[in-house]
Chains A and B, each alone.
Chain A
Amino acid sequence: MSAQLKRIEQQFAIEQFYYREARMLDNRQYQQWFALVTESISYVMPSRVNKLVDNRLRGKEEMISIDKELERSDDMGSPIREEGYAHLFVRVDRAYKANSWAENPPARTRRIVGNVEILSVEENTYRVTSNFHLFFARPGSDNFIYSGQRNDRLIVDGDSFKIDAREVIMDYANIDVPTLGLLF
């Protein structure tokens, strides 16, 4: 198989995985979704701040780089979420209780995952970036749009994948959505 064909095949497999994942999440099949993550998963959402522009960087792309706006897991700021398997388990478990009031009645969601780009492949590990728009209709409240980017580390699992790391970079000026505690 030519390298070109192999790349197309990889791209196809990853995209199909993301579509399947999105369908499970929108269908509220979180227990099935939970089977798509490894037990060592790192699930992180950096926070986003408005930094002072450094005059010495005038004229350079670095001056307004997105990295500067993020408080990530590996620095000493305050990321919005830093979770592992146990945290995600609690979230999934909670979704199927009648007294999880923020989801009673449950929100209606529809997400589009796009701009899927494989950044690197090393043996069975893929680094992939993708974008999403998520429509979120909360009964008793309002409709909201979530927009963000996901930086994933995926591990080959038979003829599918497992999510071993996900960093969700949300796009917001002010957080005016009901919660950032969803599964993105």
Chain B
Amino acid sequence: MIKISDLVSDDAAYISRRAWSDPAVYQLEKHGVFGKAWLFLGHETQIKHPGDFVQAYMCETPIILARGEDNKIYANINSCSHRGLPVCRADHGNTKRFVCPYHNWSYKVDGSLVAIPQEKMVSQKPDKNTLGLKPVPRVESWQGMIFGSFDESIEPLDSYLGDMRFYLDAFFDRFENGIEFAGAPHRWTINANWKLPMENQLGDVNHGPFLHSAVIPAEANQEIFDVGLSAVPHPGHGATFRLMPEGTPNENMAWGMEGMGAILGGSEVKEYLFEIQAKAKERVGDIRARMKGLTYGVYPNLSFLWSNTSFKVSHPRGPGKVEYWSWSAIPADAPDSVKKILRTNYSSFFGPGGILEQEDSEAWMQQFIGSNIDFADDKPYYYGLGMGDEKPHPELPGMVSSTANEYYARAFFKRWREALESVSDQDANRIALAEVR
């Protein structure tokens, strides 16, 4: 018998193995975390024209994200109102109608039901207005990033992101014409709990010098040691970066210069990146122009890897399985030749074939093995590193400390515990979980 209060200690210095592996905890997460958060769906540049659509997920629920004939953005659950089959089978595309294969009920891209072929053979006429796809009740975007929520009364996206926008804007606002996602997301499964890929990007820079020491050079780790910071603008969100000293040369400061693409890519890409950096101070201000980002996390499961410029979502598929999605993000107005080079900043190191990603996947998979064992519940995981070291910063929002401080994770798990506790008795009964409360 598990109590939620046993999953995370009051100071969050101890996290139970069950938090990572228990099927009942996962059911609570679905309602308390994924049912009540803003979840990332896609980027506006993926659906530029009326009829454009991409697939997305909110936890395990499949979503169609589309631009309607009226040019507005729609998010609907990809499940036919008649017998429940997914009505959209393609990863992305442009269409006028989604047609269910079973009985050919057909829907506009905005989710409204337009045809029931059997209708003319029956006397009772179903009310098509009530039989559209189920819409995601709240959909909002910020900086082109589209989010959806199942919680009708959730706070606006802007305030949900709060001061996390300060750190995200340090990236987005560098580009005069914004960013775009290159191609379809890479999607792959990992036998791990969804929270570990999230925690890894939220602030766990400190695994780099150890897990990745076969590939990451010692100088890169020294730089993180010297000028690396971990900021928590709000519990559940996090940003890690290096705050480079004034006068740092472009080679060692400009966004994009750390990837294999830029390193091997020749003068065109270098000049392009230096030009962006030259305008950075004017566009994002002095302190943010000197930010050389590492990894970011947005509660509950979106992350952004600045150094290799990839957005990632950790979609759960049960307590022990993740479907990881990742996109390479590139400046929308870069020449095609530069875009092709910059996308390899991501793929060389990350994604399903990445040199570093394979080590991460291995660690995440092995952590689930350790979390799913018996006779060790009296040995929860230690999350107390750096307890109390986090402090407000004169120029940066949130609590700030060295990257070895695990405050980012303690803050996440306190929020996570509250989210589980917020699941009402009614919900808990409905999902037959009274025994874990």
Interface residues of B (CB under 8 A from A): 89-95, 182-189, 191, 211, 213-215, 260, 264, 323, 327-328, 336, 339-340, 343-344, 346-348, 351-355, 357-359, 361-363, 365-366, 369
Contact = CB atoms under 8 A, between A and B. Distances in A.
Contacts of B189: 174-176
Nearest to B181: A78
Contacts, number: 115
Interface string A145-166: 0000000000000000000000
A146 to B, nearest CB: 12
Contact of A78 (B214, B343, B361): B343
Given A52-B94, A181-B358, A78 B347 contact: yes
A102 B362 contact: yes
Contacts of A176: 188-189
B327 A78 contact: yes
A52 B183 contact: no
B355 A86 contact: no
A49 B361 contact: no
B90 A71 contact: no
A176 B354 CA distance: 15
A76 B346 CA distance: 14
Interface string A78-114: 1111111011001100100101111000000000000
A71 B340 CA distance: 12
30 contacts: A47-B184, A47-B186, A51-B92, A52-B92, A53-B90, A76-B183, A77-B182, A78-B328, A78-B347, A79-B347, A80-B186, A80-B347, A82-B347, A86-B264, A94-B214, A99-B214, A101-B211, A101-B362, A140-B366, A174-B187, A174-B188, A174-B189, A175-B186, A175-B188, A175-B352, A176-B188, A176-B189, A178-B358, A181-B354, A181-B358
Contact of A102 (B339, B348, B353, B358): B358
A65 interface: no
A90 B214 CA distance: 9
Contact of A49 (B184, B348, B352, B363): B184
Contacts of B185: 78
Nearest to B354: A181
Contact of B348 (A87, A100, A175, A180): A87
A181 B358 CA distance: 8
B353 A181 contact: yes
Contacts of A45: 353
A71 B184 CA distance: 8
A99 B358 CA distance: 13
A180 B186 CA distance: 12
A115 interface: no
A60 to B, nearest CB: 18
A79 B183 CA distance: 8
B219 to A, nearest CB: 16
A78 B260 CA distance: 16
Contacts of A84: 264
Contacts of B369: 140
Nearest to B184: A49
Nearest to A74: B340
A4 B196 CA distance: 59
Nearest to A81: B353
A120 interface: no
A141 B365 contact: yes
B352 A180 contact: yes
Nearest to A73: B340
B347 A94 contact: no
Contacts of B182: 76-78
Contacts of A124: none
A108 to B, nearest CB: 16
Contacts of A2: none
Contacts of A174: 187-189, 323
Given A51-B90, A83-B348, A101-B211, 17 more contacts: A47-B184, A76-B182, A77-B184, A78-B186, A81-B353, A82-B344, A101-B214, A102-B361, A102-B362, A140-B366, A178-B362, A179-B358, A179-B361, A180-B353, A181-B352, A181-B355, A181-B357
B21 to A, nearest CB: 17
A73 B213 CA distance: 30
A141 to B, nearest CB: 7
Contacts of A141: 191, 365
A174 B336 CA distance: 29
A102 to B, nearest CB: 4
B93 A91 contact: no
Given A50-B90, A52-B93, A175-B352, A78 B184 contact: yes
Contacts of A97: 214
Given A175-B352, A180-B352, A181-B353, A49 B362 contact: no
